[in-house]
Amino acid sequence: MIATRESRLALWQAEHVKALLTQRGHTVTLLGMTTKGDQILDRSLSKVGGKGLFVKELEVALEEGRADIAVHSLKDVPMELPEGFALACVMAREDPRDALVSNRYASLAELPQGAVVGTSSLRRVVLLRSLRPDLKIEPLRGNLDTRLRKLDEGQYDAIVLAAAGLKRLGLGGRIRATFEPADMLPAAGQGALGIEVRADRADLMEALAPLSHQSTWLAVAAERAVSRAMGGSCSMPLAAFATFSGEYLQLNAAWGDPEATTPLLRARSAGPAADLAAAAALGTDVAQRLRAAGAR
């Protein structure tokens, strides 16, 4: 039994995992749930408890035995899982980049001065501000379809969304431009799916092992370690993105001041990352570099 949120994207993700497990001979059903993160739409997540609001009810279902696994967008998963829970599997990453969606403008550069851009991610706010300080950035909450509807109603000139979600739902045609990581560094874990289980379910960890993608897991372990070392939550304007170049994992991070009193700070490091501990150590090193530069 897979515990899942009931948004269209969350259901796609759960169905994707269900199909892969069914191919391997497992019998799989879905348990659809509404989380607090789905219900609270009038305030930013950073003000009401962070992205953990999207996973808490699913964890309760695992704890009570109503479900066996929970499928998450990894960027929504808190950096520290509650005691008794474990990440059993990280799957191959979809496009990790951010996407500009607009009905009138083909790129960020085309947006006129003072254009209204929608996002509720503090990371995207500080990165957009560093690229285009003249833009008016307004909050945007709700699931993917709700955000697109608000754009189509004319509430925004453009919105910024994760490319992965749009592509998974067959909405890649709505993307006008994708931001290269050098310009708009992704969030830790963006584009990757993680599967959570109770830590005592060794049987499930074994069953899920074939779905895991090792290089993605190592990359996101480094990214999440940056966030963990910085006290990471979605109330932190922090970006972290890692890619392999041969044997070496290259990790870039950025921190922005939400009050816009200091410029965007960047840090990077690279090293061999043969296991999760080495990847996490790389993340801790980058976090220390950010703090040394003045991030808080």
Catalytically annotated residues:
76
Determine phi and psi for 176, rounding to 5 degrees.
-90, -35
Alpha-helical runs (H) found in the chain: 8-23, 36-39, 45-48, 56-63, 122-131, 144-152, 163-168, 202-208, 214-229, 276-293
Q: Are 123 and 98 in contact (CB under 8 A)?
A: no
Give the DSSP per-residue string, 15-74.
HHHHHHHHHTT----EEEE--HHHH--SS-HHHHT-GGGGTHHHHHHHHTTS-SEEEEEG
Q: Measured between alpha carbons, how far is residue 223 from residues 11, 50, 94, 239 in Å?
A: 25, 18, 16, 8
Determine phi and psi for 42, rounding to 5 degrees.
-100, 0
Cα–Cα distance measured from residue 77 to residue 88, given in angstroms and rounded to the nearest whole number: 13
